Structure 1
């Protein structure tokens, strides 16, 4: 009996040792499987990340392709039209040597206008590219808005006079100062006023407003045009956006003016927005921090 008990004990010990060995092997396999699972999860996360990154890049490529198509459309239409008009005027001067001095001057004036229109469109495209690539620098200085706006209005008088539009600066005699880059601020105001001229009917008014808030000053450009629909207001500050309203004098539009305004304003720590009701004109506001004299 003792021998049987001893034999049985040895068998049990051997089985126990075998079980222990199997358990340790199972533990190692479990650890290996856990490591494999973690690695698979990491790979899956990496794949998801790459997929999202690829999706974003693909979306950006589609946007760039759309911008390229829009740019090609501008070059093909808006830039080609003035060129055709220039060539026609030059052909007329060449083919009719008996034109009077007054007639030649009028044709040369038309050519100059078309060239300036082309230059303006090209500059707007280059301005936008410079802003987006960060290749611009601001030289801020203290600017009296009353004086500054009056000068800009004087420079835009010829454009408004062609449509018998009156630009009326409703300013104050009290100096109002902001810190801004004068060159970029001029482009902001010029773009907003030029837009107002472009979409306003003849014999209407455009008002330049100044409002003072808590630590800020607002510049307003108010027109008597057709107004802007809510759907257009949502996209009007995007690049290459042609809105439903059409220029009243057949002027061309790149769809870049308002997007440039937004980029320049925000780059100088300001904000811009539009208030408009269809049929009641539009008011564009630009707001900057005010500074002491």
Structure 2
């Protein structure tokens, strides 16, 4: 081969290597090995078969071969990086898709569980409404019997003593209140509504406390508990649901009597403070306990009485009293410490 044709030979050889590296998909190290092998074979070939020295060969076109060979090594390297990045991205996408599918399966399973629980709750709600309707109708019949019997006694009123007449009046009024509350309970729309509806009227709160006080005197006397009357004798008018307000006072005082020990005094106090009617029950006997009161006022709780009788009951009365007080815009507070038990209800008065 003449020295003049070396440039053409090297350019052709470099073009072949470049074309090859453009076609293959391998790592850059393979291209480097390929170039090194080509250079090695080229050096051996020229040393054995050519009369020209290697330096002369390199200076007459060999530099083009080395430059193109170096560039051909970079092409597979760049392509390999791009392909590797694409493959890793695809793997991540497939893993993400699998995770999403797994999460979707979990969500579907949880949705199925929620649907089953919702169906169970719906059936329980239907059973509750059915039970309320049945129990309500039965209670209506019982209250009707009480009212009818009480009316028959009223017809013989001339034979009754003053105390008996007072008790007959108390039974009549209590039956009317029970009938009113039962009608509220029977109204399924009101049960399902977010807000309780009240029959608001203007009345004397002190008179209502006095009525509740008189009705529980005998109950307290049976436990040898003395109720102290510190109820204001002047009227303090409030505009609320009279039946539910009376029920709040009834629940608080009856529970105070129930959980108080025998031979004890319970003060019932009413007052006017900062344009608010204040109803207080002060029991200076053995404390029920603040934690126990918290549970009684906030959820269903069975408590043992602190007296020797060890009687128990559901703490529904106090939680209902708290709920009704809040629904009517009032506040109910309580405490139990070394000084005894204290209950306080506040409602705004009407001038």
> What range is the shorter-chain TM-score in?
0.5 to 0.7
Q: How does 1:175-194 map to 2 (within 5 A)?
A: 175-194=235-254
State the Cα deviation string for residues 27-84 of structure 1 (Å, max 9, x = none). Answer: 3761562464276268559859988xx89x99xx9xxxxxxxxxxxxxxxxxxxxxxx
Bigger CA drift: 41-50 or 162-171? 41-50
Question: Cα offset for 1:265?
Answer: 2.2
**Matching residue within 222, 227, 242 for 2:282:** 222
Question: Cα offset for 1:284?
Answer: 1.1
Rounded to whole Å, the distance in 1 between the matches of 2:273 and 2:95 is 62
Q: How does 1:270-281 map to 2 (within 5 A)?
A: 270-278=330-338, 280-281=339-340
Q: How many residues align?
A: 226
| Structure 2 runs not aligned, ≥5 long | 1-9, 25-74, 121-170
| Structure 1 runs not aligned, ≥5 long | 62-111
1:206 maps to: 266
Indicate whether 1:292 and 2:301 are aligned: no
Question: Cα offset for 1:189?
Answer: 0.6
Rounded to whole Å, the distance in 2 between the matches of 1:257 and 1:193 is 10
Rounded to whole Å, the distance in 2 between the matches of 1:226 and 1:50 is 53
Q: How does 1:1-293 map to 2 (within 5 A)?
A: 1-15=10-24, 16=75, 20=79, 23=82, 26-27=85-86, 30=89, 33-34=92-93, 36-37=95-96, 40=99, 43-44=102-103, 47=106, 137-172=197-232, 175-202=235-262, 204-213=264-273, 216-247=276-307, 253-278=313-338, 280-288=339-347, 290-293=348-351
Pick closer, same or farther for the CA change 1:219–1:36 going to 2, 3 Å: farther
Contact 2:288 2:306 in 1 (8 A): no
Contact 1:165 1:202 in 2 (8 A): yes
Normalised TM-score (structure 1): 0.57
Question: Cα offset for 1:152?
Answer: 2.1
Question: Cα offset for 1:184?
Answer: 1.5
Rounded to whole Å, the distance in 2 between the matches of 1:239 and 1:209 is 27
Bigger CA drift: 36-45 or 204-213? 36-45
2:154 maps to: none
Where 1:168 maps in the other structure, the secondary structure is strand
Pick closer, same or farther for the CA change 1:284–1:23 going to 2, 3 Å: same
State the Cα deviation string for residues 155-206 of structure 1 (Å, max 9, x = none). Answer: 3333234345443342345543444322211111111111222233555432
Contact 1:198 1:249 in 2 (8 A): no
Question: Cα offset for 1:10?
Answer: 1.9
Rounded to whole Å, the distance in 2 between the matches of 1:50 and 1:287 is 50
Where 1:194 maps in the other structure, the secondary structure is helix
Question: Cα offset for 1:261?
Answer: 1.7
Question: Cα offset for 1:148?
Answer: 2.1
Pick closer, same or farther for the CA change 1:209–1:37 going to 2, 3 Å: farther
Pick closer, same or farther for the CA change 1:50–1:264 going to 2, 3 Å: farther
Rounded to whole Å, the distance in 1 between the matches of 2:318 and 2:283 is 15
